[in-house]
Structure formats: structure tokens, C-alpha cells
Structure 1
Amino acid sequence: MDDGTSQYYFTAAMDSGKTLCSLLKAIQFQECAVFSAMPEGLKLTVEEGKCVQASAYIPAENFTEYNVRDDVDVMFKISIAVLTECLNIFGSGEESSLKMYFRCEGSPLLLVLQPQSVNNVMTDCEIATQTADSVLELRDENAEDVAKLVLKAPAFLGLLADLERTCDTIELNLSPVHPHVSIVTYGMQDRSCIEVPKSSDMVQSFACDQPLSLKYQSSHIRLIMKALAISSKAVLRCSSNGLLLLQLKLEKEDQRQMFSEFYIVPLIDD
């Protein structure tokens, strides 16, 4: 970064924007995301109604340089489709260094990308920003975690891929006793069930205080599949109010704690 970074609310640099691009594509189920630059790192959040909220987290230590002014809130709305397209401007196979600059509220986000395989070539992109709406707070501080599972992400992805695609509802059953985890799908004419005991190779750890049976909209659960495809580990937490939290750690050994996070609200029986 140059010596003029003080004129910007936010500046950052990283050796490669490719991993960031992959992470953003994993939550790209809405046109716009809320971009938040905090001292501890970068967070981009998308929402579907009041039912699903997904975030991509890039902690500050993943950047070679990272600066946020502490006297302002750096939060704005941005097209996630345009951002990922700019990050991929030199092609999906090209590693490019990335610098980001944001001057002040209402100004565009400036990206400077330079391909690693070509000298003396770089491109500037300006992406329009908008004032951000407030992000929903789906968590209830009074609701306790009653179950936690740590799963191998590739195996969990395979399980979800095997579920009946025509089903509208997915029922998640958790219990302290065998079979511990069962996933039931309900389609137009049939019902199917997959059981996953805690001894399964897919399960790295399992904790459940009481039997639970919760239903979720199938399309909401399937939103996590792109993120699972680039993850190594999935952590599922279920609160006493039925809210499901999935934290997916990115499959990248040289990136520390870069992950995506999904909150999914349960269906309420009539």
C-alpha cells in the first residue's frame, strides 16, 4: 500500500484473490451482499428472506496488508456477482494479487489486480456501492446449543447429493442414542431416511443433550452445497429454538480460519 492509505476508510492486500473468489461464489445465491470491514477481518453476508443467512469470513491475518479506520463503520451493499467477476477477470486459472481500497461512504470499491504470470500488467476495477440495510440478527442469546456435530465436509456433501431431489422438506433427527443422526426426506409420494451413527467415518465428533426432531426447507439446506464442495470440515450446531448453524472451514492449508457460515431457520408445523 502507498503512504496515502489514511485517506481511505479501508485498504487491504493479498497475494491471491482466487481463494476469496471461490469463497464468495459459495454464498452467491443473492445478487447483493453486505460488505463489512472490521478490525478482525472482512465479512460478506447474503440473506434469503428471513429464513437463511450466509456469510463469508476472511480474517485479517489472511491479508498481507489490512487497514480499517477505527472512527468509522465500513459497511455497504455491493453486487456479489460483479465482485466475483472482477476477481476472476484474468481467468479462473490465473493467480492474481489483489488490492482493495474504499474511500468513504457512497464511493466505489476499488480493486487493483495483477496476474502473477505476466509482468507489468494490471487492471483497476471500480464497483458501485450502496448504503447497506441492517443485517438480521437470527441468533437468540437465550437459546442454548443442544447439539453439535463435526463432519468431514466431502462425505457430508455426498450425503446431501444422495437425498431425493424432488423432496420439499428435510427432517433432521438427533439423539444421544443410536442411530444418533437420521435425515428424513419427504417428497410428493414417498419418504426416505438416511442414518448416520456417531461411529461413522463421516463423524469427527458428536454431542447431543436431548432428542431433537426439526424440519427445514430442502431448498434452504441445499444452499450450503457449493460451500461444502470447497470445505474440509463442517460444524453443525443446533439451538434449543431449532436454529441451525453450519460453519464450513475452507479447504486451504495455507489460509487460517477462512470459512463460510450459514444460519437456517426451521419450519414451523401447523
Structure 2
Amino acid sequence: MDDGTSQYYFTASMDSGKALYGLLKAIQFQECAVFCAMSEGLKLTVEEGKCVQASAYVPADNFTEYHVREDVDVMFKISIAVLTECLNIFGASEESSLKMYYRSEGSPLLLVLQPQSVHNVMTDCEISTQTADSVLELRDEDASEVAKLVLKASAFLGLLVDLERSCDVMELNLSPDHPNVSIVTYGMQDRSCIEVPKSSDMMQSFSCEQAVSLKYQLPHIRLIMKALAISSKVVLRCSSNGLLLLQLKLEKDDQRQMFSEFHIVPLLDDY
């Protein structure tokens, strides 16, 4: 990018947009996302009602060039479906360099993609933007953390895959005593239980000072499965108000990291 980037609110470039594409697909369960460019990096957030909030974080060091004007707030609503489609315009098997430009409030987000295997081919995409709605603040500063688990993402994904699909409620039971973790699913006629002791190969660390039992809509929990499939580690945190926070780390080939984060609200019948 040239010195003219100062005319833009936001500019960024990266050698390959493949990891960004995968990360955004992992949180694409709604049509639109709130796009926020900060000095430390990008954050895109989607919400489902007032029950689930998912964010993708792309630290600035993932970009070869990254610039955000400090005197403005770079935040807007954008179709995440269109954004991911544009990022994949040359296909999943093609590595493509990416440049992003956002001129000013109300302007479209401009993407410039060039496949690495063909140097004389380039495509420009303009994606319309809208004024961003306010993002839900689900965290309660007064709520304390009652449990923290660090799990291998692939193993946790396998556990979720094994849960009965006909069930619609998941009960998460955590305890300092054996078996430490039990996951119970409930459906119209089915009930199943999976136990995971802290000595399990799935568990990298376990912290829980007192027993806690929380219930969630299982379809909300399943929304993390795409993110789990591309992540190496997941940190699960439970708050005293029942809010479930899952933080997932995506490790790229160049050792830089991207993250996704899911907040899931418990069933109100139990609170």
C-alpha cells in the first residue's frame, strides 16, 4: 500500500486470506456481522437473538500491512456471507493475497484479491456497509468465574459429534470431585450422559472449586463446531451467572494466531 492510505479510515493486506476465510466461516451463522477495526487488529461479531454472540479476532500481526486512523471509530455492519464468498472467489485450493480498504463512514469495504499462482489476474470486490447496531454486552462484571477448563479442540469436537442429535437441551455438570465433568443431553424421549474426568487426554487443565450445574440449548452449543474443526485448543469458562464463554485458538502455519470466542446464555428456566 502506498502513502495514500491516510485518506482511508482503514487499510490492510495479507499474503493469504485463506485462514481469515476459515475463521469467518466458523462464525457465519447469521447473515450480517459487526466489523470493527482497532489498532490491535480486527474483530467481527455475529449474534443470534440475545442468546449467542460469536466473535472472530485477527490480531494486527497477521497482516503484512495494517493501518487504522486513530481519530475515527471504524465500525460498521456488513454481510459476512458476502464477505466470505468474496474471500473464496478463486476457490478453496487457491492461495490468494488480500488487500482491504475502507475509505469513510458509509463507504463500501473494498477487497482486492490476487491468486498467487497467476500474477496477471486480480479481482476487486465492493461490499456495501451499514451503520452498526449496538453489540450486546453479555459479560457481567459482578459475576465471578466458577470453572475454567482447557481442552483439546479436536477431542471436544468429537464429543459434541457423539451427542444425540434428537436432543435439544444440554446440561453441563462440573465438580472438583470425580468424574469432574458430565454432559447430559435431554430430548423428547432420550437422555444420555458422557463423563470426562480431569485425567482424560482431552483435558489440558481443569479448575473448579465447587460443583455447578448449567443448562443450555444444544443447538446453541453446536454453533461452535465449525470453529472447533479449525482450532487447536478451546478454553471453557463458566461464570456464576451461568454465562458460558468458549475461547478457541487457531494456529496458522506461520505460528501467528487468530481466535474465535463464543458467549452462550443459559436456559432462563434455571435462573
What residue is the counterpart of 2:153 in the other structure?
153
Q: What is the distance in 2 between the residues matched to 1:172 and 1:254?
A: 36
What residue is the counterpart of 1:214 in the other structure?
214
Letter in 2 for 1:179: P
Structure 2: state its 5+ residue gaps: none
Within-5 A mapping of 1:67-86: 67-86=67-86
What residue is the counterpart of 2:104 in the other structure?
104
Q: What is the distance in 1 between the residues matched to 2:135 and 2:172?
A: 27
How far is the alpha carbon of 1:253 from its aligned partner? 3.9
Q: What is the distance in 2 between the residues matched to 1:254 and 1:110?
A: 26
Matched, 1:56 2:56: yes
What residue is the counterpart of 1:46 in the other structure?
46
Structure 1 segments (4+ residues) deviating >2 Å: none
Matched, 1:250 2:250: yes
What residue is the counterpart of 1:204 in the other structure?
204
Letter in 2 for 1:169: V
Letter in 1 for 2:113: L
How far is the alpha carbon of 1:251 from its aligned partner? 3.8
Letter in 2 for 1:74: V
8 Å CA contact retained: 1:62, 1:255: no
CA RMSD of superposed structures (Å): 0.8
Q: Deviations over 1:118-153 (max 9, x none)?
A: 112111110000000010000001111110000000
TM-score by length of 2: 0.98
Q: Kindly, what percent of the aligned residue pairs are identical?
A: 86
Matched, 1:119 2:122: no
Matched, 1:240 2:240: yes
Residues 41, 255 of structure 1: CA spacing in aligned structure 2 closer, same or farther, 3 A cutoff? farther
8 Å CA contact retained: 2:13, 2:99: yes
How far is the alpha carbon of 1:2 from its aligned partner? 1.2
Q: What is the distance in 2 between the residues matched to 1:203 and 1:60?
A: 30
8 Å CA contact retained: 2:10, 2:67: yes
What residue is the counterpart of 2:33 in the other structure?
33
8 Å CA contact retained: 2:251, 2:257: no
What residue is the counterpart of 2:231 in the other structure?
231
Matched, 1:193 2:193: yes
Letter in 1 for 2:77: K
What residue is the counterpart of 1:12 in the other structure?
12
Q: What is the distance in 2 between the residues matched to 1:136 and 1:107?
A: 25
